[in-house]
Copies of this chain bind each other. A is one copy, B any other.
Amino acid sequence: LKYHNLASSLITLTTDFGLTDTYVGVMKGVILGIAPRAQIVDLTHAIAPQNILEASARLEAAIDFFPSHTLHLVVVDPGVGSRRDAVVVPTDKGVFIAPDNGVLTLPLRRCLARTAVRLGDQASPYLRQPVSATFHGRDIFAPIAAHLAAGVLPESLGDRCDPRTLVLLSVPTPYEERSEEGRPVLHVPILYCDHFGNLITALTPAEWSAWHARLGIDAEEAAAKAVIQAGSGRWKGIRRTFRDVEADAPLAYWGSAGRLEIAIREGNAAQTLALTSRAAIYLTF
């Protein structure tokens, strides 16, 4: 099956395959062999091996910046070769193609999804045969994305299901605890760390507003008086951008991923503050 007169379609790839091997290139070969005019964008191939949560958080932060007809293909798949399902989920912010292992948990929180499709026997003619036991990105996910780009309807690939029946990840969430002196402290897990050493936390502006409002503190005062404890660093205030602090000083700011981030101006916060993606930071007043 190959589609020649195809309007160009946009497909993003998110994997833990890295770029040193040919895995990603081979997936693109499969896609372009089916849908020759697809536009393929690498979202990232540097997800930590088999880290479903990181993939979920990174994809969530990216989808708002792609057209709503985009196909988002995610292959972070520790269960490859086992009986986990593959799913297609059409939403108002793009169509997701992924293993049903929880990786869509965070993106789907921000989308309207009325239905999902679990790939079934109906999908067989659209797969690359024989399907290998170790590389479903190439044999299942890439050809399915390409056929969807070419206009195949999700419903023709398997049985519909309620999106609420998909596997859900347990996502680290901010919660309130008490300091030794009894003051309320917001415990905020770190979700992942970027290439600059900036730490992306789980805290959203909505969660932050709800918390400081409950303590009777308004937005401006909360930003000015928040005390941030992040690894070996401790400082006051949430800032707007890097330039609001001196070089080498740490800062907290609402990052481009829509969550609170920790950085060192012109430095590497993960290294300097000795923090990793399994740690947490603490906010108090």
- Greatest chain B CB density within 10 A among A44, A128, A134 is at A134
Q: Is A151 an interface residue (CB 8 A)?
A: no
Contact with B along A37-51 (1 / 0, CB 8 A): 101011111100110
Q: Which of B25, B65, B134 contacts A12 (CB 8 A)?
A: B25
CB A201 to nearest CB in B, in angstroms, measures 15
Give A147 to B37 CA distance when docked, in angstroms: 20
A20 and B50 contacting across the interface, CB-CB below 8 Å:
no
Give A67 to B3 CA distance when docked, in angstroms: 13
Task: Name A's interface SS.
Answer: loop
Q: How many copies does the complex hold?
A: 3
Give A80 to B26 CA distance when docked, in angstroms: 27
Residues on the B chain within 8 Å of A22, using CB? 14, 43-44, 58-59, 61-62
Contact stretch, chosen from A166-174, A181-189, A222-230, A235-243: A235-243
CB A21 to nearest CB in B, in angstroms, measures 5
Give A30 to B18 CA distance when docked, in angstroms: 23
Give A39 to B34 CA distance when docked, in angstroms: 13
- 21 A-B pairs with CB atoms under 8 Å apart are A19-B19, A19-B42, A19-B46, A20-B194, A21-B195, A22-B58, A23-B256, A25-B41, A26-B65, A28-B41, A29-B65, A29-B67, A29-B70, A32-B39, A33-B67, A50-B266, A78-B266, A80-B243, A82-B243, A133-B253, A134-B255
Given known contacts A29-B70, A33-B66, A134-B253, what 7 new A-B pairs fall within 8 Å (CB)? A19-B19, A24-B42, A25-B44, A30-B65, A33-B65, A78-B266, A79-B243
Q: Is A36 an interface residue (CB 8 A)?
A: yes
A81 and B241 contacting across the interface, CB-CB below 8 Å:
yes
B82 and A241 contacting across the interface, CB-CB below 8 Å:
yes
B138 and A256 contacting across the interface, CB-CB below 8 Å:
yes
Give A22 to B45 CA distance when docked, in angstroms: 9
CB A257 to nearest CB in B, in angstroms, measures 8
B29 and A46 contacting across the interface, CB-CB below 8 Å:
no
Q: Chain A residues in contact with chain B, CB under 8 A?
A: 8, 10, 12, 14, 17-26, 28-30, 32-33, 36-37, 39, 41-46, 49-50, 58-59, 61-62, 65-67, 70, 78-82, 128, 132-135, 138, 194-196, 240-244, 253, 255-256, 266
CB A202 to nearest CB in B, in angstroms, measures 17
Q: Which of B8, B44, B59, B255 contacts A37 (CB 8 A)?
A: B8
Tell me whether A65 and B8 are in contact in the complex, defined as CB-CB below 8 angstroms, given that A20-B194, A81-B241, A81-B243 are known contacts. Answer: no
